[in-house]
Chains A and B, each alone.
Chain A
Amino acid sequence: MAVRRVDRIADPWGTRTPVGPGEPWPARVDEHLAAGAEPDRWVQTASVLHSDGDAYDVAVQDGRIVGVRGRAVDRVNRGRLGPKDLFGWQANASADRLTVPLLRRDGALRPASWDEAMGAIVDRSRALLAERGPGAFGFYTSGQLLLEEYYTLAVIARAGIGTNHVDGNTRLCTATAGEALKESFGCDGQPGSYDDVNHADAIALFGHNVAETQPVLWARMLDRLEGPRPPRLLVVDPRRTIPARRADVHLPVRPGTNLALLNALLREVIAGGWVDVEYVVAHAIGFDALRETVAPCTPEWVARICGVDAGAIREAARLVGTAQRLLCTVLQGVYQSHQATAAACQVNNLAILRGMLGRPGCGVLQMNGQPSAQNTRETGANGDLPGFRNVANDDHVADLARVWDVDPLQIPHYGASTHVMQMVRHLEQGTLPFFWVSATNPLVSLPEARRIRDVLASEDVFLVVQDLYVTETAAVADVVLPAATWAEKTGTLTNADRTVHLCERAVDPPGQARSDLDIWLDYAQRMGFRDRRGGPLVHWHDPESAFEAFRACVAGRPCAYDGITYARLRGGSGLQWGGERLYGDGRFPTDPDVCETYGRDLLTGALIDETAYRAMDPAGRAILKAAEYAPPPEAPGGEHPLRLATGRTLFHFHTRTKTARAPQLQAAAPDVWVELAPADARRLGLGEGDVAEVVSPRGRIEARVRVGGVREGVAFVPFHYGWWDRPGGASRAANELTITAWDPVSRQPLFKAGAVRVTKLADADGRAAPAPTNTASAPVGADLPPTRGGPDAEVVETGP
């Protein structure tokens, strides 16, 4: 065993431990402790600042968190941690944590007791239920709470209040993953496993900047790339990301054209004779319609749409067409772009056509953006019913009503749950006077920020916010509830490859802060929600009993948590529900009585009804859903000649509520920037570090320019930066610029669409853009000091 000290801001992925195909990934334990710390105990936990699900232990000394250490035993990370896990824990002890409830009185938020705060919420709830009915209530939650909390919220909202207005900010990150899986395989559930990285001979990353969104998963891929017999790598991304630099083929497509590209790839795979005909005949339907749809999509035609070379498209098709063990992954480059679900489904189609499912190295990872996004989908805290039940299937609704012991009519099932952008519309129209936001910051994270500010700050809306700090959203709330966070409460969360982890309470929350679970249990108790026999609707009282109630709710469903208990989760590795991989037998949950959806038209979102679905006779076969390319909204041109793409970057998460309060992370990317291609920058008279104005038809921001590796014609702006730590300054939120538009199937907003112009405001004056140099944001043509963390960012790595 070697012990190394590594600056993990400078080297975010750590030291290589190369592996060959089929070999187990060696452990490498990453540890970071505060200077002089001597922990008196270690407490088990998992990541909450990304979706990889890395397992680690929290070091506790005198009741405070003093560091973290990866868990070597865990299947996901084998001891490794990414920068946000290594340093993000410091945000827990931030001096500006909320410690008491706040209540708006005489126009200002003032400290209040829990009784006063909850009393205000309950009074308003009772009055509105009586006057306006359940449709007056909207609940908007997160992708960062715990399974037990989501499930409790889902029961309260859907059966207690009985509203259909329930969604999570997972709408912004993972909605398309869930919808694409449902459309192709009948039901949500990740087919693949991270272990597929260790077996694949080809990896294709579609809009997935894995090096920044899941650094430890990228470390796993890097170890394959630097080991014997490495996999070939295809990267589709308009930016020259770290993975793109390592790719055999990099296709920097124009944002919004993924579907065109994928249709061409499928056309070439079919034309090349690379279809696993036996597999498709036995295990899929819809091949003829798919072939007909993609037939006109020649590489030359698509090359013009996507702005890439036709030869490179052919090369990419050969790469995925001739692979023996192909792993495809998908993330926001697809999910937050035009025709999101349609494009994500074509990646599923690629795996189906090639018979690349359910075997080692053969898989699809429709990734998640957040640590517990998967749980919102399983528990019904987003747009789905709990347990992957089909809202259009009356038997499924009746079964859920049986579990909750309520009348089926008490559970709204006249259609899919109201997605958040539609809730915003209801808020705007005054039909949603009660809006409860938990662990998310919509004022900064939803598109067209000016509109969202107007809507949520309106006096007609009773806004409840539970959070750790006074976020931009909390600042305009009527009631602010101080929440306990990760390591201050116990519960589970499930990552993108279905691995369930337990997070234990390691320290006390500050002041009077309470866990989100306790807040909702209190609300349910005060509201007196009852089941049909007169017992309490929410009949659990702590995390473990909530987990067991959830397990009972999903028993017999495709996401059954059979055999997964707190006892088994303690001490060892995280556990996958459904086993290592799904669909190894080529049988899919598409049977009409089992499936989670009857599907939608991928172009319009029109629902397919049960009769039409039954007529397709899927009978346990996967569904090859086809869609034709259509141009994205708001084409660049005229006054707004550049296409805007917003996105996540390595050192921050969401709106920086936690990562800005971790000094190493904040210093690595302290302020917003706009990335331009060298040719665009030249044309606009802009150089590295110049201050520019970025303007769309909806708003403007100011940002320094990073001349970088983004494709020509595109302006990239990171979406992390709001205004809580910059009072009085000009807004720098990327969402000042974004367009209000969403995918018709997944209803995921299009953050990588809309047009902008960039003009110079001031010279750089010797300063560079506040962007990292060791990520996709690396400078082109400028020799800048490299991003470093210094002594405070030194991490002890123990490995081979």
Chain B
Amino acid sequence: MRLAAAIADVRAAEARIAAELDAVAARHPGEHDVVHVARALAGLAEANLAALAPHAARHGAAGDPGPAAGDPAPAAPDPALALLRDLRRLHLRYAEASIDWVLLGQGAQAARDAALLDAVTAAHARTLRGLAWTVTRLKEAAPQALTS
């Protein structure tokens, strides 16, 4: 079974999201809503990792990936564009995790692992909330950043 590999992928992706949320919040202290929502979303990422932990052990996935490092700050000429680029990359991190959940869900279904499938379904829904938030926040920020 290669579910262990898929589990490792999704854990790494969620850990990267958590790290990236911290990094983005730290780089944009003046974007107060980003700081506060990032905290709530980090909670969802942690919930996802926790939900997966028993299944990781069961399927022999490598131990806890531990905290990941956030990406380095993207180059940008001003803070408004820097925010766009940071949120854009966070969006891609969420997209990556989302597709990893899809893959793991397909594997769980094929393996008839109902408990894993339930965990994946719930966790994927949480990841999609983060993905949706990045779209919302990017759409909010873009008009002023791109025309001012």
**Using a CB–CB distance below 8 Å, which chain A residues touch chain B?**
132-133, 135-136, 164, 412, 414-416, 418, 421-422, 425-426, 428-429, 431, 600-601, 603-608, 630, 633, 740-742, 744, 747
Q: Pick from A415, A630, A740: contact of B140, CB below 8 A.
A: A415
A431-B148, A630-B40, A741-B32 given; A607·B132 CB < 8 A: yes
Whether B33 pairs with A135 at a CB distance below 8 angstroms is no
Counting from the closest, the 7 A-B pairs by CB-CB distance are A431-B148, A606-B132, A606-B133, A604-B133, A740-B32, A607-B136, A606-B136
Shortest distance from the beta carbon of A173 to any chain B beta carbon, whole Å: 19
Whether A742 pairs with B143 at a CB distance below 8 angstroms is no
Whether A601 pairs with B144 at a CB distance below 8 angstroms is no
Shortest distance from the beta carbon of A162 to any chain B beta carbon, whole Å: 12
Q: Does B67 contact A (CB under 8 A)?
A: no
What does the 1/0 interface line of B117-144 toward A look like (CB < 8 Å)?
A: 0000000000001101101100110011
Closest chain A residue to B31 by CB distance?
A: A425
Closest chain A residue to B131 by CB distance?
A: A606
Besides A418-B144, A604-B133, A607-B139, 14 other A-B contacts (C-beta < 8 A):
A133-B147, A136-B148, A164-B143, A416-B140, A425-B31, A431-B148, A601-B129, A604-B41, A604-B129, A604-B130, A604-B132, A604-B136, A605-B37, A606-B129
Shortest distance from the beta carbon of B46 to any chain A beta carbon, whole Å: 12
Q: Which residues of A contact B65 (CB under 8 A)?
A: none
Q: Does B74 contact A (CB under 8 A)?
A: no
Whether B129 pairs with A429 at a CB distance below 8 angstroms is no
Shortest distance from the beta carbon of A218 to any chain B beta carbon, whole Å: 34
Q: Which residues of A contact B79 (CB under 8 A)?
A: 429
Interface of A is mostly: loop
Q: Does B36 contact A (CB under 8 A)?
A: yes
A604-B130, A606-B129 given; A425·B30 CB < 8 A: yes
**Using a CB–CB distance below 8 Å, which chain B residues touch chain A?**
30-33, 36-37, 39-41, 43, 78-80, 129-130, 132-133, 135-136, 139-140, 143-144, 147-148
Shortest distance from the beta carbon of A73 to any chain B beta carbon, whole Å: 47
| Distance A630 CA – B148 CA, assembled complex (angstroms) | 36
Q: Pick from A135, A415, A607, A633: contact of B36, CB below 8 A.
A: A633
Closest chain B residue to A339 by CB distance?
A: B40
How many residue pairs bridge A and B at CB < 8 Å? 72
Can you report 27 A-B residue pairs in the complex whose CB atoms are below 8 A from each other?
A135-B148, A164-B143, A412-B143, A415-B140, A418-B144, A421-B32, A421-B33, A428-B30, A429-B79, A431-B148, A600-B136, A601-B133, A603-B40, A603-B129, A604-B37, A604-B129, A605-B33, A605-B136, A606-B129, A606-B133, A606-B135, A607-B132, A608-B132, A633-B36, A741-B32, A741-B33, A742-B32
Q: Which residues of A contact B80 (CB under 8 A)?
A: 429, 431
Q: Which residues of B contact A601 (CB under 8 A)?
A: 129, 132-133
Whether B143 pairs with A604 at a CB distance below 8 angstroms is no
Whether A741 pairs with B36 at a CB distance below 8 angstroms is yes
Whether A633 pairs with B135 at a CB distance below 8 angstroms is no
Shortest distance from the beta carbon of A773 to any chain B beta carbon, whole Å: 38
| Distance A629 CA – B39 CA, assembled complex (angstroms) | 13
Shortest distance from the beta carbon of A408 to any chain B beta carbon, whole Å: 16
Whether A604 pairs with B32 at a CB distance below 8 angstroms is no
Q: Which residues of A contact B41 (CB under 8 A)?
A: 604
Closest chain B residue to A428 by CB distance?
A: B30
| Distance A603 CA – B40 CA, assembled complex (angstroms) | 8
Q: Pick from A132, A135, A607: contact of B143, CB below 8 A.
A: A135
Q: Which residues of B contact A135 (CB under 8 A)?
A: 143-144, 147-148
Q: Which residues of A contact B136 (CB under 8 A)?
A: 600, 604-607
Shortest distance from the beta carbon of A19 to any chain B beta carbon, whole Å: 46
Closest chain A residue to B143 by CB distance?
A: A414
Shortest distance from the beta carbon of A46 to any chain B beta carbon, whole Å: 36
| Distance A741 CA – B130 CA, assembled complex (angstroms) | 19
Of the candidates B41, B79, B143, the one having the most CB atoms from chain A within 10 angstroms of its own CB is: B143
Q: Pick from B33, B130, B133, B144: contact of A426, CB below 8 A.
A: B144
Whether A605 pairs with B36 at a CB distance below 8 angstroms is no
Closest chain A residue to B145 by CB distance?
A: A431
| Distance A92 CA – B16 CA, assembled complex (angstroms) | 60
Closest chain B residue to A607 by CB distance?
A: B136
Whether A414 pairs with B40 at a CB distance below 8 angstroms is no
A133-B147, A601-B133 given; A414·B32 CB < 8 A: no
Closest chain B residue to A630 by CB distance?
A: B40
Shortest distance from the beta carbon of B43 to any chain A beta carbon, whole Å: 7
Q: Which residues of B contact A603 (CB under 8 A)?
A: 40, 129
Whether A604 pairs with B135 at a CB distance below 8 angstroms is no
Closest chain B residue to A608 by CB distance?
A: B132
Q: Which residues of B contact A426 (CB under 8 A)?
A: 144, 148
Q: Which residues of B contact A607 (CB under 8 A)?
A: 132, 135-136, 139
Closest chain B residue to A451 by CB distance?
A: B30
A135-B147, A414-B139, A606-B135 given; A633·B37 CB < 8 A: no
| Distance A414 CA – B144 CA, assembled complex (angstroms) | 11
| Distance A740 CA – B33 CA, assembled complex (angstroms) | 9
Q: Which residues of A contact B147 (CB under 8 A)?
A: 133, 135
Shortest distance from the beta carbon of A740 to any chain B beta carbon, whole Å: 5
Q: Which residues of A contact B133 (CB under 8 A)?
A: 601, 604-606
Shortest distance from the beta carbon of A625 to any chain B beta carbon, whole Å: 13
Closest chain B residue to A134 by CB distance?
A: B147
Q: Which residues of A contact B32 (CB under 8 A)?
A: 421, 740-742
| Distance A630 CA – B143 CA, assembled complex (angstroms) | 31
| Distance A603 CA – B130 CA, assembled complex (angstroms) | 10
| Distance A425 CA – B140 CA, assembled complex (angstroms) | 13
Whether B130 pairs with A415 at a CB distance below 8 angstroms is no
Q: Which residues of A contact B31 (CB under 8 A)?
A: 425
Whether B132 pairs with A742 at a CB distance below 8 angstroms is no
Q: Which residues of B contact A429 (CB under 8 A)?
A: 78-80
| Distance A744 CA – B41 CA, assembled complex (angstroms) | 12
Q: Pick from A164, A418, A604: contact of B40, CB below 8 A.
A: A604
| Distance A133 CA – B144 CA, assembled complex (angstroms) | 11
Shortest distance from the beta carbon of B47 to any chain A beta carbon, whole Å: 10
| Distance A422 CA – B143 CA, assembled complex (angstroms) | 13
Shortest distance from the beta carbon of A337 to any chain B beta carbon, whole Å: 14
| Distance A604 CA – B148 CA, assembled complex (angstroms) | 27
Whether A132 pairs with B37 at a CB distance below 8 angstroms is no
| Distance A215 CA – B36 CA, assembled complex (angstroms) | 36
Shortest distance from the beta carbon of A731 to any chain B beta carbon, whole Å: 22
| Distance A633 CA – B25 CA, assembled complex (angstroms) | 14
| Distance A601 CA – B43 CA, assembled complex (angstroms) | 15
Q: Which residues of A contact B139 (CB under 8 A)?
A: 414-415, 607
Of the candidates A428, A601, A608, A742, the one having the most CB atoms from chain B within 10 angstroms of its own CB is: A601
Shortest distance from the beta carbon of B144 to any chain A beta carbon, whole Å: 6
Q: Which residues of A contact B39 (CB under 8 A)?
A: 633
Whether A431 pairs with B144 at a CB distance below 8 angstroms is yes
Of the candidates B33, B43, B80, the one having the most CB atoms from chain A within 10 angstroms of its own CB is: B33
| Distance A655 CA – B93 CA, assembled complex (angstroms) | 45
